[in-house]
Structure 1
Amino acid sequence: MTLSILDLAPIVSGGTAGDALRNTLDLARRAEEYGYRRYWLAEHHFAPGVASSAPAVLIALVAAATSTIRVGSGAVQLGHQTPLSVVEQFGIVDALHPGRIDLGIGRSGQRRAELATDPVAEKQAARVVDGLLIPPPFDWSALARQPRLARQIAALQQPGARTPDFADQIDDVLALLDGTHEARAVPGEGADLRVWILGSSGGQSAQVAGERGLPFAANYHVSPSSVLEAVEAYRKAFKPSEALGEPYVIVSADAVVAESRARARELAKGYDLWVRSIRTGAGAIPYPTAAEADAHVWTDADRDLVKDRLDTRFVGPPAEVAEGLRVLRRVTGADELLITTITHDHEDRARSYELLAEAWNRS
């Protein structure tokens, strides 16, 4: 199947991190049963509502709880770790689950630094490209300049540490894996890992993925305004490699599926409040109940913070959401889609994935 899952291990209002992690293991087992191709875990820090802060650890747990589905990171924040430590971590997991592990890598801190000094110069109008909504870009510069964010980034690194250029880091990862680096990664060297690059724009991540002949994952669910730019830049830069003979693209999307449109919309409540917490710099809050979401008093500024994410989410009955995702796949030329679903109730989330898989397989 050409659908996969991205899981943040969300902690819901009234729940605990332990609950979230047990739900992740349960959902991974079900995803394997439903036929999803791969199960990726995000890396988030300083978020009261997200338990996926150490993807290598969680990937090991998920891989042990399943047997066939590919498991990976979406994505390791390489700006906060060395290539050697990442390859060793994933090498350990691969040694126990060979041929099933994806090492997805993102630029993290380097990208944040760019956003702080690169405000959106002009508010572009929303446009529809062959049926796909491309919203105006979100201006991250004010959030990226917050002192709190700088302190958080500092807490992830040793004092005085300097993050090398992303391209150099990726080259080190690849060299450590194939044994051509002067350092030896044990476990890690010779590991049967598939390396992915994740990106939100047509910048360095897309360029590096293309030039190294690696598969690329583009964010429609986080940065929908730049998804077409990202996949175009990747394909333009692509050079065949031993790993990949032609470009391979996965595109992410947020979705909630239920038996009826009304039920899906009810389950989707809380998402706007959750996104607002991220974009105000507070960090993702525990995922709200529908009642908590309804109680929030929204300002125009609040709505502007979350509008692009709400407008590009796929919410509805199975056939309707599947059709929307087919449009996303066609317009981006994606080989695969990476679906993120968050609801307050775990059973509703699992059922959403089940309904989507059934509808996708019927098409």
Structure 2
Amino acid sequence: MSTKKLSDISVSVLDLVPIQEGKTAADAIKNAVDLAQHVEKLGYRRFWMAEHHNFPGIASSATTVLIGHVARETSTIRVGSGGIMLPNHAPLVVAEQFGTLATLFPGRIDLGLGRAPGTDGLTAMALRRDQHQSVDEFPQNVVEVYNYLGDPDPSSKVRAVPGEGTYVPIWILGSSTFGAQLAGMLGMPYAFASHFAPTMLHHAIQVYRDSFKPVGSLKEPYVMAGVNVIAADTDEKADYLATSMYQSFLGVIRGTAGLMKPPVESMNGLWDASEQYAVQNMLRCSFVGSPEKVKEDLQKFVDQTQVDEVIVASSIYDHAARLHSYELIADFFKKSA
């Protein structure tokens, strides 16, 4: 097995469009645009946003609208969904929306699809077009979206316009072997959510590669993995900034998710031992520290997984510190001359 250097693979950004304490959703969206413009200049490949609903601290619920907004304010970076939660939507509507985006911004739109609702059960019921809609229908719905975006079929009774003939790249997102096997069978690229659900990372990647069939334009399996990275000039500064991320995940575990909190000097007293263990278990694919430390940890991650691309979430409260973190990360992935 050949060893990949960080400079051999691509790096992208996953932005949850976090709303900070003391700020508004408008501030979060403004920061998202600024971040996208910043990382575009730094050479990042993609800027993805994720569909979440009924989360007070996340402003990306209308993901498709935000993708269009960010794509309009940038010029070269690919913009997409990490992901659209397909059980919440009719496949035709997804195809029309992303077909429209691809028509407006040719060659720059990605469609990542997930099978979870991206919210709690009550909110999922409020979102569903059909009370009987089920995650079990995910495979056939993915194929439906794929067909709508593929070759135009004048004989078809239902067509996506805009949509057909745009061939928007479809990614399967997942945190288990289900999505891995589906992506492999459909010959689609696969993105694993190791930034919050790392348990089955290695097994899922192996399942994907073993089951991959080149049925579409993708000739070889292509794996992207999500990681959390908080880089700063010193380990101490990075550890301090990372406490905002720890507080956010603690809120998820407690069922009290709220606005992104500013960093604190210590998490002692904010979580008990079991909560600390649960948060750290969720964040096993997180790399916090100085540039030297983070680069070494990222290289170990790539050595172990042999992924083709990493997508970086950086949950930092201070916007300037977040921009700086992505600057430091970009240096690791610069192509060799």
TM value normalised by structure 1: 0.85
1:74-105 alpha-carbon deviations (Å, 9 max, x no partner): 01000110110101111111111011100000
1:34 to 8, 29, 42: 42
- CA gap of 1:311–1:168, structure 2 versus 1, over 3 A, is closer
Partner of 2:279: 306
Q: Tell me if 1:222 matches 2:196.
A: yes
Q: How many residue pairs end up in the alignment? A: 324
Partner of 2:205: 231
- Distance in 2, matches of 1:24 and 1:41, equals 9
- CA gap of 1:159–1:310, structure 2 versus 1, over 3 A, is closer
Q: Tell me if 1:190 matches 2:190.
A: no
1:68 to 69, 76, 82: 76
Contact 2:188/2:216, CA 8 A, preserved across alignment: no
Q: CA deviation at 1:199?
A: 0.8
Secondary structure at 1:270's aligned position in 2?
A: helix
- CA gap of 1:159–1:90, structure 2 versus 1, over 3 A, is closer
Partner of 1:333: 306
TM value normalised by structure 2: 0.91
- Distance in 1, matches of 2:241 and 2:295, equals 17
Contact 1:149/1:281, CA 8 A, preserved across alignment: no
Partner of 1:120: none
Partner of 2:174: 199
Secondary structure at 2:80's aligned position in 1?
A: strand
Secondary structure at 2:260's aligned position in 1?
A: coil
Q: Tell me if 1:166 matches 2:174.
A: no
Secondary structure at 2:296's aligned position in 1?
A: helix
- CA gap of 1:250–1:194, structure 2 versus 1, over 3 A, is same
- Distance in 2, matches of 1:187 and 1:292, equals 51
- Distance in 2, matches of 1:160 and 1:194, equals 29
1:142-201 alpha-carbon deviations (Å, 9 max, x no partner): xxxxxx932122111146342361110111011111135641011111114111001101
Secondary structure at 1:290's aligned position in 2?
A: coil
Query: Which structure 1 segments of 5+ residues have no match?
Result: 113-147
Partner of 2:6: none
Task: State the Cα RMSD in Å.
Answer: 1.9
1:77 to 80, 85, 90: 85
Contact 2:17/2:60, CA 8 A, preserved across alignment: yes
Q: CA deviation at 1:255?
A: 0.5
For residues 46-61 of structure 1, the aligned pairs below 5 Å read 46-61=54-69
Q: CA deviation at 1:61?
A: 0.6
Contact 1:99/1:192, CA 8 A, preserved across alignment: no
Q: Runs of at least 4 residues of structure 1 off by over 4 A?
A: 292-296
Identity %: 40
Q: CA deviation at 1:60?
A: 0.3
